[in-house]
Structure 1
């Protein structure tokens, strides 16, 4: 039996990178996957790839910063597809700018990063929570090594703050919902090669070298490296795990 059979799983930011890999992995494990992304075409393409390989997948456009849209889509999915039992909050952006630049840029970076990476997690979770509670389901939030540390790369206070917030939200929600049988956990990726950081890797190869030099496994991660932990946290394999974060960082935080 597949690990996620009879589950309906919603994955945000599923049009590319980690979200796309998790959606495909969940489908391989028997879940019906609902891919959400602000880029409707990318989500539709990823869903088609899943269906072409025998999986079950649907896609919808969603801007996680729009709370009313999150609520409306949650109701639409419940009506058209069924009760969601797994939610993966993956949608996010990264901007590695500090506090000492032009005021307009500093403020915009803060507002955009917090709106998507932290408030977006709240918006989507709040919208799907009635279904998750009814199903005694599972929530998996994508944190970061920056849920703990401010990495030694170009400054990113907004990103660091947002990912600290995701971990705090994960723990608070786990404590609140545990008695209802709902489990809430996070994954902490290290340096993962995705479209999100492709431009940075291309224009600043020294940045990648800095991360890898501090990583005991000596390589960057791939989106597929996140899939196994995501399946574990969404499945009954982790039936007694909640309020935790699984680090997938090649050992970055060990040294």
Structure 2
């Protein structure tokens, strides 16, 4: 059975992605900094839970080692990300906005680097980086550091190029707009009617999962797929 790692799998889009991969026949290693949440995703998908802070070099290495022990990894979904509400750049301290860069850019780069060698030994794998429209738009954004990190993730993907440059693994990137998760629905409900009318349509999580599975099956190395609401 093929082994897939999903980071940030304990909740939100990560749990939807883990479920979609499991339904597609993969054994999912659900990695999350919240051990209980990862365990619940593993229970729901019949997979394996790993408590992992992806910004920790040692824990990232242990995550990939766990997948190698299981016979993989064949698939890596770099989904873990986000930013903590509150003070953002330029008012936040460098340590605070640096953590956002670490989570959204350095961590997926590191996990990709760690996964390439074992994937090459298996004949090549597939990696999907989950970015955000915050990294591709040119309008002001509430967290500049998050937008910059996601822009970097997009360019990181395209810079890797064709699979034959990196041992046969296809690295692609999914760039969704506003996803219809519980938090997004709550934010939309709290808006005024005027604000709601101007808001981007929410993308059903199932559409994001289908797009990710499509990239895993057919995406060429360096492919970037932007996803917007209906």
TM norm structure 2: 0.87
Give the Å deviation of 1:166. 0.4
**CA displacement 1:70-113 (0-9 Å, x = unmatched):** 1122113312x112111100000134655353xxx342431111
What is the distance in 1 between the residues matched to 2:146 and 2:67?
30
Partners of 1:40 and 1:60 within 8 A in 2 = yes
**Are the structure 2 counterparts of residues 179 and 115 from structure 1 closer, same or farther at C-alpha, using a change threshold of 3 Å?**
closer
2:79 and 2:113 map into 1 onto residues whose CA distance is: 15
Q: Which residue of 2 aligns with 1:137?
A: 125
Closer/same/farther in 2, CA of residues 206 and 132 from structure 1, 3 Å limit: farther
* CA RMSD between the two structures: 2.6
Cα distance change, pair 214–196 in 1 and its aligned pair in 2 (3 A): closer
SS in 2 for 1:141: strand
- The count of corresponding residues between Structure 1 and Structure 2 is 228
Give deviations 1:190-248, integer Å, cap 9, x for gaps: 0113356577x1795259946x6364xxx31232221101111112xx16x22111111
Runs of 4+ in structure 1 over 6 Å off: none
Indicate which of 186, 191, 202 corresponds to 1:220.
202
1:61, 1:206 → 2: CA distance? Answer: 39
Which segments of 5 or more consecutive residues in structure 1 lack a partner in the other structure?
1-5, 52-56
**Matches of 1:123 and 1:221, distance apart in 2:** 29
**Alpha-carbon contact 1:64-1:116 (below 8 Å) kept:** yes
**Residue 192 of structure 1 aligns to a residue in which SS?**
coil
Question: Quick one: distance in 1 between partners of 2:193 and 2:37?
Answer: 28
**Does residue 230 of structure 1 match 2:208?**
no
- Residue 62 (structure 2) aligns with: 72
Among candidates 157, 162, 171, match of residue 144 of structure 2: 157
CA separation of 1:100 and 1:185: change in aligned 2, threshold 3 A: closer
Distance 1:45-1:179 versus aligned 2 partners, 3 A rule: closer
Whole-angstrom CA distance in 2 between matches of 1:43 and 1:116: 17
Helix, strand or coil for the counterpart of 1:94?
coil
Q: Secondary structure at the match of 1:93?
A: coil
